[in-house]
Amino acid sequence: MNAPLTHAKPAPLAPFVDALPLPSRLIALEHDGRLTVSIRAGTHRFHRDLPVSSVWGFEGMVPGPTIEAERGRPVTVEWLNELKGPFPVLDTVAPEPADADGVPVQCLPGLSGGEPNRHAAGLTGHTVVHLHGGLTPASYDGWAENLFAPGQPAVFDYPMDQRAALLWYHDHVMGITKLDVYAGLAGLWIVRDERERELELPEGPPFEVPLLIQDRNFDLDEHGRLTGQLVHKTDPEVMEAFPPFTVVNGKVWPVLEVRPATYRFRVLNGSNARTYRLVVLHEVAPEHERITQIGTDHGLLRAPVAVPADGLVLASAERADVLVDFSDLPPGSELTVLNTARAPFDGSPFPVSDAENAADPEGLLPYPQVLRFRVAGEPANSVSIPRKLATDYEAPPAEALAGARRRAIALVEREMGDEPNMLTMRELGPAGDGPLVTVSDGDETTRYRVVAAHFEDATTFFPMLGEYEVWQLINLTGDTHPIHLHLDPFQILSRQPIRYEIPEGGIGGRELAATVTLAREPDDELDHAIDDNERGLKDTIRVNPNEIVEIAVRFNSYSGRYMYHCHILEHEDRDMMRPFVTMAPELMPFMA
């Protein structure tokens, strides 16, 4: 049942009292492109009224410093692993999904009767850094199994031969990314280039502001008071953590004082699992006409777009570059950013007109607050929004796609009884003996069998550098999965409704039987549309339930072993991740 925001349980922390922190900037050019970043334990205050928290962070900070680089100017980072235990997060599975009053335990602070996971408590600080969105040679891409132990430095070269964009760097350790990132191991990385400067977009403070959005939970002491102790809590019915407190740049529900001017916000969803649908309210009325989106994951769109009518949807790891015009607002005006997306997210719409009533504990959204803007001070120059933005990419040409290698991947959730469910990416190959997956589009039926199901199964994807491929992502689960490819960006080609049947016992450890038809399920309420802001260069794409998404990807930059995975960290860790190897064409004749 929806509890209106005005009548929702009062939040245990006051919203909009802390100023939005701006992460410290580390400008690569000022250091001749050679940076040293220590990875270490630190302390951090997430809210005025919370005690300090122990964290693991880059430079001991949450978030880590924002690294700013120039296109074509390589950056070398010496990552110094100086982590030391104890691990700063209590990880637990609550024994029941709801408390005695029927409130989902994930909406509540504390352990809710869960035992702290002793294996998490025993973590000593292995890490590996991945630059998300970076066109990075494989040796420096942060392969999930190539760990840096405490005391072991790693020197990674980032060529920065890529267009301007908001990237982010974060831990990527096999099996525990969800814990290490939650502990604080994430920071932003901005690449800048001449095209953006030609357009005279705001660069740096005060008019360019990064917003790293995450959700966090904390423990309670014996008197029921919040401590700063970070808690990663799941429950027997929901294997992802959806903590109740939204944190922007490290503060719970902060407030940013803005001048009557146009601001550029570089927005990243850095949450483990939560998808946000962000709406901006002035009093109670949505004012989305103030917002213009100019960029996505890999930088500028070709032309500015309005945000979708119901709000800006960002799943884990998706980015948006938006201009917000406050210039006509008198001092004292307040605009509030709310989230209207239930969790786990399944693409279901929520009308923007009802955004003030978005609080929904059953949808694991007890507090929709994200951030507030308060207008103060003198007007500043307003920014004119160019009508033409990027000029360096086009939609993939039809001729290239006609002959393109096609790959199919089914997203599958396997019930595991007492254990949390397994999520896997079943790579599909030509049908042989055994269970079949059929995909029917009109009269045409393609027959497949599973050729790989788990991260450690043999590699089956060997894309050739320079050639377009079409990857078909087939969602056979009830949730939206943000699928991320390392290395080069891709473009979405289509998002189509499907219906499917999986026979009793059809999901095995490696096998899969399913009948998929490209047609809408009668009770399917999703529109399966491509948002305008998804028609750019993406590295993470949402695949909703009852949906096939096709993407066109062309790996151009480096040969080597990379990963693709769901960016819900609890899914990536269990086991929604697979390798691929990009190949130089001249080596192909020598491949067995």
166 binds Cu ion, rule: CB under 5 A: no
Whichever of 219 and 346 has its CB closer to Cu ion, that residue is 346
b/e sequence 245-268, b meaning 16+ C-beta within 10 Å: bbbbbbbbbbbbebbbbbbbbbbb
Q: Whole-number minimum distance, CB 112 to Cu ion, in Å?
A: 24
571 binds Cu ion, rule: CB under 5 A: yes
| Window contacting Cu ion (CB under 5 A); options: 120-128, 252-260, 343-351, 570-578 | 570-578
Q: Map residues 105-124 to x or -, x wherever contact with Cu ion holds by CB under 5 A.
A: --------------------
| Window contacting Cu ion (CB under 5 A); options: 63-71, 128-136, 430-438, 562-570 | 562-570
Count of residues of this chain found to bind Cu ion when the rule CB under 5 A is applied: 4
Neighbour order of strands in the sheet with 319-325:
251-252, 245-248, 208-216, 262-269, 319-325, 291-296, 299-306
User: Considering only residues 568, 569, 577, 583, which one is a binding residue for Cu ion as defined by CB under 5 A?
Assistant: 568
| Window contacting Cu ion (CB under 5 A); options: 210-218, 376-384, 386-394, 480-488 | 480-488
Whichever of 449 and 571 has its CB closer to Cu ion, that residue is 571
| Window contacting Cu ion (CB under 5 A); options: 179-187, 464-472, 571-579, 584-592 | 571-579
Whichever of 219 and 570 has its CB closer to Cu ion, that residue is 570
Q: Whole-number minimum distance, CB 230 to Cu ion, in Å?
A: 23
State yes or no: cis peptide before 321, omega within 30 of 0.
no
Q: Which residues contact 451 (CB under 8 A, 6 or more apart)?
A: 427, 428, 429, 460
In the block, which residue shows the tokens 């699992």? 273
| Window contacting Cu ion (CB under 5 A); options: 146-154, 335-343, 523-531, 564-572 | 564-572
Q: Which residues contact 282 (CB under 8 A, 6 or more apart)?
A: 333, 334, 335
Instruction: Calculate ∠ Cα 186-270-454, nearest 5°.
Output: 90
Dihedral angle of Cα 374, 379, 384, 390, to the nearest 10 degrees: -50
- Distance CA(408)–CA(551), nearest Å, equals 11
Beta strands 319-325; 262-269: pairing state:
antiparallel
565 binds Cu ion, rule: CB under 5 A: no
Tokens standing for residue 200: 């005279």
Q: Whole-number minimum distance, CB 410 to Cu ion, in Å?
A: 13
State yes or no: cis peptide before 12, omega within 30 of 0.
no
| Window contacting Cu ion (CB under 5 A); options: 129-137, 267-275, 476-484, 489-497 | 476-484
* Residues in region 332-351 near Cu ion by CB under 5 A: none
* Residues in region 226-245 near Cu ion by CB under 5 A: none
Q: Whole-number minimum distance, CB 481 to Cu ion, in Å?
A: 3
How would you write 173-203 as a 3-class SS string? CCCCHHHHHHCCCEEEEEEECHHHHHCCCCC
481 binds Cu ion, rule: CB under 5 A: yes
Do 511 and 435 contact (CB within 8 A), yes or no?
yes
566 binds Cu ion, rule: CB under 5 A: yes
274 binds Cu ion, rule: CB under 5 A: no
Whichever of 178 and 571 has its CB closer to Cu ion, that residue is 571
Binding site for Cu ion (CB under 5 A): 481, 566, 568, 571
